[in-house]
């Protein structure tokens, strides 16, 4: 089921390879740093440096993807362990299909820390690896780069993260303040799953101005917690917490709304504020997906809140029209809220995943209520965007930030007492009902997507 999701629900995160342009459908550019607690998740670039220059590479399938550093040694075709491989990086020519596989085994037997395989065909960097998964980290480079490195044996080859932040983000988030000696950012769980990034490979930029405009607002991620009951198939409990490597100073935190205030706002169909750096083109659920270029500027838009009952009706009708039958289980769980207009044209899109949805409190101050999660199309008429209901997790968040807990989901789903049938309700999902829903979701996979794609 895991591989169905990238086609199934539109994850609102941008691909790091996109050519880059605006975000938030129907939104406007945020002036200056109006929302300093807006966070952007950035995947650090990995760089192979050898022979005094950076060399393009690809990971070998199923190989351990660990960073490495060591002097280069050439592994020939002879039998037995690769000579002089101990604590070194083995340089291997692919040759015929099984040679690279056996050479990597000999490299590992000789104490090698990693293998760099260069292709035997000019102009190509791909290597065919057969047999068992490589026992050590292994990457492939082109024939030309392999020939170059043959002239730099005994020099150090290093695969590591670059110290320069990329100019693109792949998901959004919200800074919640400092606690337990660190800063904390909340985002969508699906931003950190399929694939699952290393914490050391993540950066967070705080501020709604242009991405990376202020180097002192870029923070490394020390660790992260994904909700223990997060379901990648249904996107229930789509929430995660990032612990920053340090405590930001002078940056205000976004306060959380309480469930009672949120229920009142939903009942009144009050306008909510959404923020992000995601795609900006409106598209229906059946429209063909097209990549957009990335715009490092923050964007904002106002969308009306939609009741859970009405939102479920819209998606049940959509499923029925799409697959000929309604889902056996309501797609919108008590841990989700919806926002969007009947006419469409305004809302979140791919690249906005994990970013904030805010509602005003009685004093007119914006408070965090939701996290961009999923939807059908982008700002499509009659199909609201779906957001994680953040106040359901307030007690867990508070306990973690105060150092009293290390588990997100310890107190299970904290649905508010105000979440009655109109705005919440519901209970545990029975396995038969879940399977029935998932079967229908699979059938409708080409039309509904996550609002994120990983870099």
Q: Are residues 81 and 184 in the same domain?
A: no
The first and second tokens of residue 9, run together, are 């629900």
Predicted TM-score of the model (pTM): 0.80
Q: Are residues 442 and 321 in the same domain?
A: yes
% residues pLDDT > 70 (the chain): 76
Let me know if residue 217 belongs to a domain: yes
pLDDT at 76 over 70: yes
pLDDT at 115 over 70: yes
Q: Are residues 203 and 144 in the same domain?
A: no
Let me know if residue 293 belongs to a domain: yes
pLDDT at 387 over 90: yes
Let me know if residue 40 belongs to a domain: no
Stretch among 129-143, 190-204, 418-432 having the lowest mean pLDDT: 418-432
Question: Higher model confidence: residue 246 or residue 1?
Answer: 246
- Give the pLDDT mean for 222-244: 95
The reported pLDDT for the residue numbered 130 is 52
The reported pLDDT for the residue numbered 133 is 73
> What domain count does the chain have?
3
Q: What is the pLDDT of residues 338-364, one digit of tens each?
A: 999 888 888 888 788 999 999 999 999
Stretch among 58-62, 101-105, 119-123, 419-423 having the lowest mean pLDDT: 419-423
The reported pLDDT for the residue numbered 439 is 32
Q: Are residues 406 and 437 in the same domain?
A: yes
Confidence of residue 282 (pLDDT cuts 50, 70, 90): low
Q: Are residues 26 and 93 in the same domain?
A: no
pLDDT at 297 over 80: no
Q: Are residues 284 and 433 in the same domain?
A: yes
The reported pLDDT for the residue numbered 165 is 86
Which of 161, 180, 204 marks a domain boundary?
161
The reported pLDDT for the residue numbered 435 is 32
Stretch among 93-107, 224-238, 292-306 having the lowest mean pLDDT: 93-107
Which of 244, 276, 305 marks a domain boundary?
244
Altogether, the residues listed in the chain come to a count of: 455
Q: What is the pLDDT of residues 193-211, one digit of tens each?
A: 877 889 999 999 999 888 8
What's 54's domain CATH number? 3.50.30.30
Q: Which residues are catalytic?
A: 190, 238, 353
What's 358's domain CATH number? 2.40.10.10
pLDDT at 323 over 90: no
Q: Are residues 258 and 282 in the same domain?
A: yes
Question: Higher model confidence: residue 347 or residue 170?
Answer: 170
pLDDT at 320 over 50: yes
Let me know if residue 365 belongs to a domain: yes
Q: Are residues 180 and 157 in the same domain?
A: no
Q: Are residues 141 and 177 in the same domain?
A: no
HEC string for the chain:
CHHHHHHHCEECCCCCCCCEECCCECCEECCCCCCCCEEEEEECCEEEEECCEEECCEECCCCCCCCEEEEEEECCCCCCCCCCCCCCEEEEECCCCCHHHHHHHHHHHCCCCEEEEECCCCCCCCCCCCCCCCCCCEEEECHHHHHHHHHHCCCEEEEEECCCCCCCCCEEEEEEEEECCEEEEEECHHHHCCCCCCHHHEEEEECCCCCCCCHHHEEEEEEEEECCCCCCCCCCCCCEEEEECCCCCCCCCCCECCHHHHHHHHHCCCEEEEEECCCCCCECCCCCCCCCEECCCCEEEEEEEECHHHHHHHHHHHHHHHHCCCCCCCCCCCCEEEECCCCCCCECCCCCCCCEEEEECCCCCEEEEEEEEEECCECCCCCCEEEEEHHHHHHHHHHHHCCCCCCCCCCCCCCCCCCCCCCCCCCCCCHHHHHHHHHHHHHCCCCCEEECCCC
Which of 161, 195, 219 marks a domain boundary?
161
Stretch among 212-221, 241-250, 427-436 having the lowest mean pLDDT: 427-436
- Give the pLDDT mean for 64-92: 87
Domain of 83, in residue numbers: 46-161
Q: Are residues 447 and 348 in the same domain?
A: yes
Let me know if residue 180 belongs to a domain: yes
Let me know if residue 105 belongs to a domain: yes
Q: Are residues 337 and 355 in the same domain?
A: yes
Q: Are residues 132 and 173 in the same domain?
A: no
Let me know if residue 114 belongs to a domain: yes
Let me know if residue 203 belongs to a domain: yes
The reported pLDDT for the residue numbered 434 is 35
């Amino acid at each position: 089921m895991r591989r169905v999701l990238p086609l199934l629900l539109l994850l609102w995160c941008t691909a790091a390879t996109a050519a880059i342009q605006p975000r938030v459908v129907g939104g406007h550019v945020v002036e200056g740093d109006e929302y300093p607690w807006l966070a952007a998740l950035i995947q650090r670039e990995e760089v192979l440096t050898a022979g005094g220059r950076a060399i393009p590479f690809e990971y070998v399938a199923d190989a351990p993807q660990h960073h490495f550093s060591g002097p280069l040694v050439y592994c020939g075709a002879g039998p037995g362990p690769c000579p002089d491989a101990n604590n070194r990086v083995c340089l291997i020519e692919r040759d015929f299909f099984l040679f690279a596989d056996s050479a990597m085994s000999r490299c590992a037997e000789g104490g090698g820390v990693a293998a760099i395989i260069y292709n035997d065909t000019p102009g190509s960097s791909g290597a065919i690896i057969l047999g068992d998964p490589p026992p050590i980290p292994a990457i492939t480079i082109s024939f030309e780069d392999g020939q170059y490195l043959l002239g730099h044996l005994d020099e150090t080859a290093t695969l590591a993260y670059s110290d320069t932040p990329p100019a693109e983000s792949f998901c959004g988030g919200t800074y919640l303040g400092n606690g337990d000696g660190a800063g904390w950012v909340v985002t969508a769980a699906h931003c950190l799953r399929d694939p699952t990034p290393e914490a050391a490979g993540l950066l967070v930029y705080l501020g709604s101005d242009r991405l990376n405009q202020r180097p002192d607002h870029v923070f490394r991620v020390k660790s992260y917690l994904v909700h223990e009951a997060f379901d990648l198939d249904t996107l229930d409990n789509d929430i995660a917490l990032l612990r920053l490597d340090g405590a930001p100073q002078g940056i205000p935190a976004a306060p959380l709304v309480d469930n009672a205030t949120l229920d009142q706002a939903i009942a009144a169909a009050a306008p909510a504020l959404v923020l992000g750096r995601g795609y900006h083109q409106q598209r229906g659920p059946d429209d063909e997906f097209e990549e957009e270029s990335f715009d490092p500027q923050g964007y904002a838009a106002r969308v009306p809140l939609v009741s859970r009952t009405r939102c479920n009706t819209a998606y049940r009708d959509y499923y029925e029209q799409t697959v000929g039958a309604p889902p056996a289980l309501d797609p919108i769980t008590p841990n989700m809220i919806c926002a969007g207009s009947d006419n469409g044209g305004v809302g979140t899109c791919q690249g906005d995943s994990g970013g904030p949805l805010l509602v005003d409190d009685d004093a007119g101050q914006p408070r965090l209520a939701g996290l961009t999660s999923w939807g059908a199309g982008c700002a499509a008429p009659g199909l609201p965007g779906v957001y994680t209901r953040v106040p359901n997790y307030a007690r867990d968040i508070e306990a973690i930030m105060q150092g009293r807990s290390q588990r997100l989901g310890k107190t299970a789903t904290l649905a508010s007492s105000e979440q009655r049938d109109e705005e919440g309700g519901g209970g545990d999902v029975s396995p038969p009902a879940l399977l029935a829903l998932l079967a229908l979701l699979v059938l409708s996979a080409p039309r509904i997507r996550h609002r994120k794609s990983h870099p």
